[in-house]
Structure 1
């Protein structure tokens, strides 16, 4: 068992001024740093996140993965490195208080990475569009038959040992971030598992599922990433 693990949280955020304070407020107290990667927001997301108690790093180049990488760079520069890093979205669709369910298997040394699966949990009606649900099913099915990886979701709410995350050498700067991590974890032989998480309608409009361009762009990148690591 990991004794008194140091836990940091990374939240990529683009124009989440209404939701980010709620997300930060519900993160368990055991977390050391909450690092919000302000992904060139045009609103007061960064300012409000600081007021809520987070560390804010600024990333002018838009992209989910790019924001996550910038937050990771900030953590790398800290004198004391974390044991576990948790990722979640800044739109309040995840339930931050469920974080303990994700980190417990890692603390108990039963897993190196834990994915919060919306497919196994309860989803509020309307919280995921049909393209999202179908896209998750298609991606996880392809991963199963092409890579032999067994996942039910590409959920953004996830926890991973920091040392393992660094070894994965994450590269994707946008929509392929989550699936790259899952494929690389499988190929590296990491112990991974999924736990059910609940999911609700996000605050505001999704930058991915809220537009036709976003849906097709994300879908294309996810499928491309699967075959890239074949």
Structure 2
């Protein structure tokens, strides 16, 4: 078993969270941490029953949940080699963690994004605003930073030491783009691999609402322009 820890932020994912936990390859993952982001359903109990470590983060926000998971790792001195982030909605394929971490283990990459920008994207799995938002954000990063990212996908793996060095700060929608921008600034060796992506179970809390879409878009663009002037 490799020393790999998976962090799964989850808000009201009682229908999907056990599927995500169960499909994670246990032969390579040592710890599975589900951060219950103040859910009002049975997300926590479903995750616990599936065998995950369950934490509670009452402050609402994707970044808050990710930071809670990192805080637990530090306090418990788990000292993983690699951290994998994956959503709790079962849109990603957890079994692809093996492929996701391969460039880190075998080619000494620091950071790997699971890109949904490929023919294996299930029709209707991403909303038009998600597709446009990803295109806009990655195009701006290409123009401003010469980046080669094609996606802001939440399914990602990073060396734990590299993640700590990034000093992540964003508490809400900007977490993923912050990580990518800081990785560019830190000259981390990064790559993408194509991953499968299906329609999520339940309704998206971001792209599924007008408010979520607008706030996510503003946050992502603000991070990009902030870093373009640094």
TM-score (norm 2): 0.97
- State whether structure 2 residue 3 is matched by structure 1 residue 14: no
How is 1:121-200 mapped onto 2 (pairs within 5 angstroms)? Answer: 121-200=119-198
Alignment size in residue pairs: 227
Cα displacement (A) at 1:121: 4.9
Structure 1 residue runs of 4 or more that deviate by more than 6 Å after TM superposition:
none
Give, in whole Å, the separation in 2 of the partners of 1:80 and 1:70: 14
Cα displacement (A) at 1:5: 3.5
What is residue 32 of structure 2 aligned with on the other side? 34
Q: CA RMSD in A?
A: 0.9
Give, in whole Å, the separation in 2 of the partners of 1:199 and 1:177: 20
Cα displacement (A) at 1:80: 3.6
Cα displacement (A) at 1:49: 0.5
Give, in whole Å, the separation in 2 of the partners of 1:97 and 1:17: 20
SS in 2 for 1:229: helix
Give, in whole Å, the separation in 2 of the partners of 1:173 and 1:148: 26
C-alpha distance 66-80 of structure 1, shift in aligned 2 (>3 A):
closer
| 5+ long unaligned stretches in structure 2 | none
Task: Show CA shifts across 1:121-178 (max 9, x none).
Answer: 5111110011100000000000111122210000000000000000000000011000
Asked if the contact 1:40–1:60 (Cα under 8 Å) also holds between the matched residues in 2, the reply is yes
What is residue 95 of structure 1 aligned with on the other side? 93
Give, in whole Å, the separation in 2 of the partners of 1:119 and 1:110: 24
What is residue 83 of structure 1 aligned with on the other side? 81
Asked if the contact 1:120–1:195 (Cα under 8 Å) also holds between the matched residues in 2, the reply is no
| 5+ long unaligned stretches in structure 1 | none
> Structure 1 residue aligned with 2:211, among 205, 208, 213?
213
SS in 1 for 2:198: coil
Give, in whole Å, the separation in 2 of the partners of 1:196 and 1:171: 27
C-alpha distance 25-121 of structure 1, shift in aligned 2 (>3 A):
farther
